[in-house]
Structure 1
Amino acid sequence: MHTFTIAEKNTSLAWTAACRALDVAANPRRDGFHTVVRIADATAEDPQVRAHFDRVRDEYGYEPIETVANTIFPSMLAATCSSPEELVRRYREIYERLKRMDRGNRGGTYFGRIVAYPGEGGPVNQLTALIARIRLQASSSGPMSAAYEMDVAHPDDVVPEETWSTPVHVAGKDNRYRGFPCLSHCSFQLDRDRTLHAVALYRSHYMVARAYGNYLGLGRLLAYLAQQANLHPGSLTVVAGHAQIENHVTAIRPVIQNQIQLSA
């Protein structure tokens, strides 16, 4: 079994290192199992890496990186909202339109699952509940370190408004072999120094089509939660059950093999 564990300071370096770990002669399928990518600041990027990868994606018809990242956290929309409640309301207002605009979003988006989970009694807002839980614990004298989950739930479960669970994969419903949702689980950890960390589990990660944007989106979600709770954003760890360079390895090799000039 081919696998790897890497740790880098930003999304660009983490993505290039992960691809490089897969693109080796001893691994002709360019895939791996139980891979681990740890990013100190997943909101940070190297502009040269990003510019090169943007050109490759445009040439081969991939979605823009920002489109991928926005399915997890719509950062531009959030920047225009005065509160998490306003963000939830405005996203819900456009959610059905977003699902119709892109075939890849027909089953929903990850952020849609967070703010409008299809519960039995209608859409359930779980973002503000999670923020409230983190705020409450962070302000206490003995905060819980690992009580902040985006977990797996059955569609028949009753999901009350005040729940702390944010399902991103629904057992009994999301049974397609491919497609949404590849993100199975996301969890947040509150460190004693008032730093919030995150770990995400993907059943499958496509390194060219999705991984870079997913790292960014998760990093921005983590940063938003930390900001709303007056905490420091920490590291993001992404575990993939199966990761692969699915296409166009020749096109991305100049950047993953450090053949372009990286920023200092």
Structure 2
Amino acid sequence: MSAVNVAGRTALDAWRNGVAMVLDRREVFNLFTTIDEPTILDAGWLAQCSPRKRGFPGDDVREVIKTIFPFELAQALPDRAALYQAYLERHDRAMRFKRNRSAWGTYFERLVRFPDHPATNQLEVVIEKLNKWEKRSSTGLVFHLSTPARDTPRTRGGPCWHFGELVWHPGDLLDLVVVYRNHDFYNKALGNFLGLGQLLRFICAASGKTPGKLVCHSVHAYNGGSVEALRAISH
């Protein structure tokens, strides 16, 4: 099955173009989304394009963003070590309540405390390499969001973002390339794109690099809501 490509200057532009494909085809396999300026985040989008904020069943874009990068907490805690500690404390406290429990946690948790390897902070390792490697490695910096030990095959659930890679270009420009096995363009995709953009901004600020593009391979893209609701939040 051939790939489908969409693009946009901002996360909102690219998401809307992806939504058009999903609405037209009902589901899309191998959808590649390229966002030229992924670090742009307009607060107005969080209400305008959030199902819950618009009165539809579904997620809140702001909360989806925070599963990938806690952008509001990061504004209050510029020190990276303090940010990691504060996030994990909040995460663990929230997991005490049954309604919040998940077999896989959140993406940011997996970036800074990988399952079964709590001492492994992938995010900090990448930042350290970007700061210390004397020779640029174009494709040597990766994030793993899934582990066979925890994420056994299941019909529903489990992390959808599986893999991330930083592409380090000449001139210290960083692209972020990600792979999603399953991508809900109603509830998740816009928040995912915005969260990944803020994650890229954070990495670049910590390593003295310049944010480049976000490229997302959605193996399966679909509408997790009604056609009418998706049309409403995307216009």
TM-score computed with the length of structure 1 as normaliser: 0.80
SS at match of 1:187: strand
In structure 2, what is the equivalent of residue 14 of structure 1?
14
**Partner of residue 62, structure 1:** 58
Q: Is the 8 A contact 1:2 1:31 kept in 2?
A: no
Alignment correspondent of 1:247: 225
Give the aligned partner of residue 97 of structure 1. 93
Unaligned 5+ segments in structure 1 are 152-167
Deviation at 1:225, TM superposition (A): 0.2
Indicate whether 1:189 and 2:175 are aligned: no
Separation in 1, partners of 2:146, 2:199: 18
Task: Tell me, yes or no, if structure 1 residue 145 matches structure 2 residue 122.
Answer: no
CA distance in 1, matches of 2:211, 2:111: 19
Q: CA deviation at 1:58?
A: 3.9
Pick which of 185-194 and 45-54 moved more.
45-54
Q: 1:63 to 1:118 in 2, by over 3 A?
A: same
Letter in 2 for 1:66: R
Cα gap change, 1:47/1:2 in structure 2, threshold over 3 Å: closer, same or farther? farther
Query: Paired residue for 1:38?
Result: 34
Gapped regions of structure 2 (runs ≥ 5): none
| Structure 1 residues 46 and 114: alpha-carbon distance in aligned structure 2, compared to 1, 3 A threshold | closer
Question: Could you say if the C-alpha distance between residues 106 and 135 of structure 1 is closer, same or farther in structure 2, counting changes exceeding 3 Å?
Answer: same
Q: How far does the alpha carbon of each residue in 1:218-259 deviate from its partner, in whole angstroms, 9 at most, with x for none?
A: 111011001100111111001011110122221232564xxx
- Aligned-pair distance for 1:64? 1.3
Alpha-carbon separation, structure 1, partners of 2:20 and 2:2: 13
Distance 1:125 1:226, change over 3 A: same
Superposed CA RMSD in Å reads 2.2
The aligned residue for residue 106 of structure 2 is 109
> Aligned residues, how many?
233
Evaluate the alpha carbon distance shift between residue 50 and residue 16 of structure 1 in structure 2; reply closer, same or farther with a 3 A threshold: farther
- Tell me which amino acid in the other structure corresponds to 2:20: R
Identity %, equivalent residues = 27
Q: Is 1:118 the counterpart of 2:115 in the alignment?
A: yes
Asked if the contact 2:7/2:33 (under 8 Å) is kept, the reply is: yes
Are the aligned partners of 1:58 and 1:64 in contact in 2 as well (CA < 8 Å)? no
8 Å Cα contact 2:39/2:200 also seen in 1 = no
2:199 corresponds to 1:206: no
> How far apart in 2 are the matches of 1:80 and 1:31?
39
Q: Deviations over 1:181-212 (max 9, x none)?
A: 01110010111011111000000001101111
- Out of 130, 145, 150, the residue aligned to residue 134 of structure 1 is 130
Inter-CA distance 59–85: structure 2 relative to 1 (3 Å threshold): same
Distance, in Å, in 2 between the alignment partners of 1:62 and 1:195 is: 36
Q: Structure 1 stretches (4+) deviating beyond 6 angstroms? A: none
Whole-Å Cα distance in 1 between the matches of residues 52 and 93 of structure 2? 28
Question: For each residue in 1:41-73, what CA deviation from the matched residue of structure 2 results, as whole angstroms up to 9, or x when unmatched?
Answer: 223256776543236654123221110010000
SS at match of 2:212: strand
- 1:216 equivalenced with 2:209 (yes/no): no
8 Å contact from structure 1 (residues 78, 87) kept in 2: yes
Using the size of structure 2 for normalisation, the TM-score is 0.89
Deviation at 1:84, TM superposition (A): 1.6
Alpha-carbon displacement from aligned partner over 1:127-152 (angstroms, at most 9, x marks no partner): 22111011123xx3x4111111013x
Residue number among 70, 77, 83 corresponding to 2:73 in the alignment? 77
State how far apart, in whole Å, the 2-side matches of 1:51 and 1:95 are: 24
| Structure index of larger Rg | 1
In 2, are the aligned partners of 1:186 and 1:201 still within 8 Å (CA)? yes
